[in-house]
Amino acid sequence: MPDRYDSTRRAWEDIWDAATIEVELEAAAYARSQDTIDAYLPFLAKQDIHLEAGSGLSAIVLTLRQRGYNVHGLDYAVNALLASRRFDASLPLAAGDVHHLPYRDSSFGSYLSFGVLEHFEGGMLPALREAYRVVKPGGVLVLTIPYPNLIYNLVQWRRRLSGQGPLTDDAFYESTYTRRQLRDVVMEAGFSLELSRPTSHSFTLWQLGGPFRTSGYYRTSLLAETLGALLKRILPWPTNYSTLIVARKQARRR
């Protein structure tokens, strides 16, 4: 099997070259994004230093810093880091690999990862073990990962019928994780699970296109938002786009 690590990195560099920080910040302010942020913020201590690993154009770093949190960013797409620095030269950013973080043990109060670890063919465990290493005892892991919802499974079924590979014509794009799979790998890395929550139901509908989309960067329509809120109440997991996990590194016993 060919090594896709470098090709994935180059693909992200292309993505960030085509994007802008202003648009990414706008997406971070969408209702579905704010709902996720509000769910994990109570677990972050303002006196701690936090790391977003895979920070891209730093929209979440900027958003959380505006709320008073000391968040650092790391990414292996150097062009995204340079663009972020041009936008705000004060941002604490580093170039690095989530599998080999350039930080000492127990450096951060939390490790934040949003839509990153599903893109590695070898799975997320190696990166989660690095997350565990750099988070201090009592600190938290905050993670979002795609869930194999009904619509995702329908799209996969249609692609198989047409002779295509999963999601793209390539052999690998991303992995999805069920609740149990995600819980198991997080616990295998050493964390203790504190929160498992389905999120972004309106974006599940966005994937269907048509009336569920409106003009803008991955912007969902009012219909998608309304129906997504209903699905969140009556079918929270089958229609879940991504799962939010909060897990804790247990403090050392005296």
Question: How many Cβ atoms are within 10 Å of 19's Cβ, its own excluded?
Answer: 17
* Confidence tier at 240 by pLDDT (50, 70, 90): very high
Report percent pLDDT > 90 for the chain.
Answer: 78
CA 87 to chain centre: 22
What is the per-residue pLDDT for 179? 94
What is the per-residue pLDDT for 5? 75
Q: What does the pLDDT average to over 173-200?
A: 94
Q: What does the pLDDT average to over 179-193?
A: 96
In which residue are the tokens 């939010």 written? Answer: 244
Is the pTM here over 0.85, yes or no? yes
Residue 46 has pLDDT above 50, yes or no: yes
Residue 1 has pLDDT above 50, yes or no: no
What is the per-residue pLDDT for 3? 59
Which of 128-137, 144-153, 188-197, 240-249 shows the lowest mean pLDDT across its residues? 144-153
Which is nearest to 62 in space by CA: 99, 24, 30, 96?
Answer: 24
Q: What does the pLDDT average to over 116-144?
A: 95
Select the more confidently predicted residue: 163 or 38: 38
* Confidence tier at 173 by pLDDT (50, 70, 90): low
**Crossing angle of helices 21-28/78-87, nearest 10°?**
80
Report percent pLDDT > 70 for the chain.
Answer: 93
* Beta strands 192-199 and 242-248, pairing class: antiparallel
Q: What is the torsion angle, in degrees rounded to the nearest 10, for the CA atoms of residue 90, residue 93, residue 94 and residue 98?
A: 170
Residue 78 has pLDDT above 60, yes or no: yes
What is the per-residue pLDDT for 164? 64
Q: What is the torsion angle, in degrees rounded to the nearest 10, for the CA atoms of residue 117, residue 62, residue 109 and residue 74?
A: 50
Residue 65 has pLDDT above 80, yes or no: yes
Q: What does the pLDDT average to over 8-18?
A: 85
Residue 149 has pLDDT above 70, yes or no: yes
Q: Output the 3-class SS for the chain.
A: CCCCHHHHHHHHHHHHHCCCHHHHHHHHCCHHHHHHHHHHHHHCCCCCEEEEECCCCCHHHHHHHHCCCEEEEEECCHHHHHHHHHHCCCCCEEECECCECCCCCCCEEEEEEECCHHHCCCCCHHHHHHHHHHEEEEEEEEEEEECCCHHHHHHHHHHHHCCCCCCCCCCCCCCCCCHHHHHHHHHHCCCEEEEEEEECHHHHHHCCCHHHECCCCCCECHHHHHHHHHHHHHCCCCCCCEEEEEEECCCCCC
Residue 122 has pLDDT above 90, yes or no: no
CA distance linking residue 190 with residue 195, whole number of Å: 15
